[in-house]
Structure 1
Amino acid sequence: MSRGSRDKLQSKAMLSLKLPRLVTVQQLPKVFHEDSILYGYRSPQSSALSCILSLFQMTNETVNIWTHFIPTWYFLWKMLSMLCSNNSWHDPFMWPLFVFMLSCCIYPFASTCAHTFSVMSTQARHICFFFDYGALSLYSLGSAIAYSAYVFPDRWVNSLFHQWFVTYAVLNTILCTGMACYSRLGFPLLHYNQLLIDRFPEVSQPRISKVLRTSAFGYPYLFDTIPLFYRLFLCSGDDCAHNATLTWHLGHTILAFLTAFLFATHLPERLAPGRFDYVGHSHQLFHVCGILGTYMQLEVLIMDMNLRRVWLENNVASPSLSSAFGAWSLGLAFSLLLIGGFSWALYWKPQPEKEKRRM
């Protein structure tokens, strides 16, 4: 092949990799609409390659993607660094922390993939966010496992609530994954006509869908932080585990409530539709606050673990694989089953009555 031919082929390849064309909200099916976002949308029938190429152009999803993709690698580096130091993997006291750190790696990566590939089709959009919701529920479960090991005030340690805390957290994971998936799809197996795009709960009943989804994210957080709230605001005396971590715990709590506020209110774009489409809309701020909150949560858990280690090892049984990785794996298994069921429902079509009679 001559040099000129090779240059032409390279030029054609470069042209074929041009950045995807963006569209406005009026050019999209309603299921792809974002509240008060008017411009910067990608085509709802993008290829996987187009989705990846869109990471390198400014769309209304670009900041969402990168604010979770980069932290994924930081949390992964942090976890691997701790795993490789001083044989930490063989220390049962560290296992709840590693479960939490694994959750911190998975949920921003799942969010990255969801926001990247959600414009391949209507079905792909729902499935991508099913996995995103499942990952968030597992992150909440990882938090509960770590809180059970390191955060409970001294006077609550070994109480009945402490003994059943992780079990309830596993049940919350199952409940909240199902609730979040239902907020997008409803129960199509019972009402198959709702599979029509304009009948999705997210489109036909957006307020109810939003309440369900916010509850699915907020409820497990509130449950997980019961021992922390008690320690921060109600507990007094020597058996409250008051130490240098309380300021960090308070900062993380403030960020968590700010994250929920941004997710629920769609501010500031609701005040000026079209002005914050590319940079500064609520979902981007929600991502930033969420990641900062996760970073603070991880650092303060490490501090609490180190400051309270001697007392906890003397008063609490060492964590077991079943109480840490076993509980998290159970939550993962049930979440995948729910995601699989809701995903299958997107493609399920009932047989007409005539065909049933012929069979």
Structure 2
Amino acid sequence: MLSLKLPQLLRVHQVPRVFWEEGIMSGYRCPTSSALDCVLSSFQMTNETVNIWTHFLPTWFPELEYPGFSKALRTAAFAYPFLFDNLPLFYRLRLCWGGAHSCGRDALSSNHSYHLLCALLTGFLFAARLPERLAPGRFDYIGHSHQLFHICAVLGTHFQLEAVLADMGSRRAWLAMQEPTLGLEATVATLSLAVIGNLFIIAAFTASLLRIPGTCPLLQGSPLEEGLQAKQQ
């Protein structure tokens, strides 16, 4: 009968420094895991399991070669849609604070405030690495900043959608007079552009995997690299 062995987990000193997360002491996966090990680790409690399932379908970050660029991409992936989606809200706030228009009680939903609060918490947790920085090793599996970061992001998205629905209900008549209703062709075109853009991103990052060198210089000199070389000999 086929039996599968779960991958071995490593402590922080057993992986290259580029993979170290401040305050996370254990539960690290092997950086050179096989494809099967990566799949199996999704069902094993590591310090990334909750992150994997909150992402649902993780994407591939040139993390090894360009860690700074990778983090910038991840940050931009959240910052850009947040700014773009909230441009109408910021415009309305500017009109209210500028005094050019009067803002009634229904001008802004309370869900907008909750959404912005969650967005601030999301950015704070991503940058501060709390609470694991205060108690290293205590939050390796559950409760570290990246997991809380995802929870705040999901809650912020929920409040944002609730605020949009409230706006549509209270401002439907005004919106109908300002802009014509989008037809089926415009909706399909917008959806098609979004799908094409996502496919292009997936193809670009998948192609970069084919250009990864056999031995990454970041792994050289680490206990993991020395162990791999010993096995090959």
TM-score (norm 1): 0.50
Match of 2:66 in 1: 201
Residue in 2 aligned with 1:227? 88
CA distance in structure 2 between the aligned counterparts of 1:259 and 1:248, rounded to whole angstroms: 16
**Structure with a larger share of its residues in helix:** 1
Q: Secondary structure at the match of 1:129?
A: coil
In structure 1, the gaps of 5 or more residues are 1-8, 69-110, 115-127, 131-183, 186-196, 351-359
Using the alignment, how far apart are the partners of 1:261 and 1:36 within structure 2? 16
Cα offset for 1:323? 4.3
CA distance in 1, matches of 2:101, 2:185: 32
Given that residues 252 and 297 in structure 1 are in contact (C-alpha distance below 8 angstroms), is that contact kept between their aligned partners in structure 2?
yes
SS of 1:317 mapped into structure 2: coil
Task: Give the share of equivalent positions with the same residue, in percent.
Answer: 50
Q: Distance in 2 between matches of 1:65 and 1:227?
A: 32
Q: 2:176 aligns with which of 295, 310, 313?
A: 313
The amino acid across from 1:40 in the alignment is: G
How much has 1:64 moved relative to structure 2? 2.2
Distance 1:336 1:56 in 2: 27
- 1:256 paired with 2:187, answer no
Q: Deviations over 1:149-193 (max 9, x none)?
A: xxxxxxxxxxxxxxxxxxxxxxxxxxxxxxxxxxx36xxxxxxxx
Does residue 285 (structure 1) correspond to residue 216 (structure 2)? The answer is no
Q: How many aligned residue pairs are there?
A: 210
Partner of 2:60: 129
Higher RCO (C-alpha under 8 Å, 6+ residues apart):
2
Which SS does the other structure have where 1:329 is aligned? helix
CA distance in 1, matches of 2:203, 2:18: 21
Does residue 1:38 correspond to 2:25, yes or no? Answer: yes
Query: Does structure 1 residue 62 correspond to structure 2 residue 49?
Result: yes
CA contact (8 A) 1:231 1:240 kept: no
Call closer, same or farther: CA 1:320–1:52 in 2, change over 3 Å: same
Select which of 257, 265, 272 maps to 2:128.
Answer: 265
C-alpha RMSD of matched pairs (Å): 3.1
Letter in 2 for 1:282: S
State the AA in 2 paired with 1:305.
M
* Pair 1:304 & 2:174 matched: no
TM-score by length of 2: 0.73
Rate the CA distance shift 1:338–1:18 in 2: closer, same or farther, 3 A: closer
